[in-house]
Amino acid sequence: MTTNRLIVVGGDAAGMSAASQAKRRRPDLEIIVFERGPHVSYSA
């Protein structure tokens, strides 16, 4: 996959799990998470 920029909409369990997992596998991937609330995942 030649993805350079991943955007994640939503920073709770699913969004943050995915972001962390993707970053671990591809440290060069640029990841931006947009979360409309004031908090991100508290358990991922």
Q: Can you give the binding site for other proteins, defined by CB under 8 A?
A: 1-27, 29-44
Task: Write out the H or E segment, with its range, that includes residue 20.
Answer: helix 13-25
CB of 30 to other proteins, least distance (A): 8
Among candidates 23, 29, 27, 18, which has minimal Cα distance to 40?
18
Query: Considering the complex, what minimum distance in angstroms separates the CB of residue 44 from other proteins?
Result: 7
Quote the tokens at residue 7: 């955007």
Task: Work out how close the CB of 28 gets to other proteins at its nearest, in angstroms, rounded to a whole number.
Answer: 10
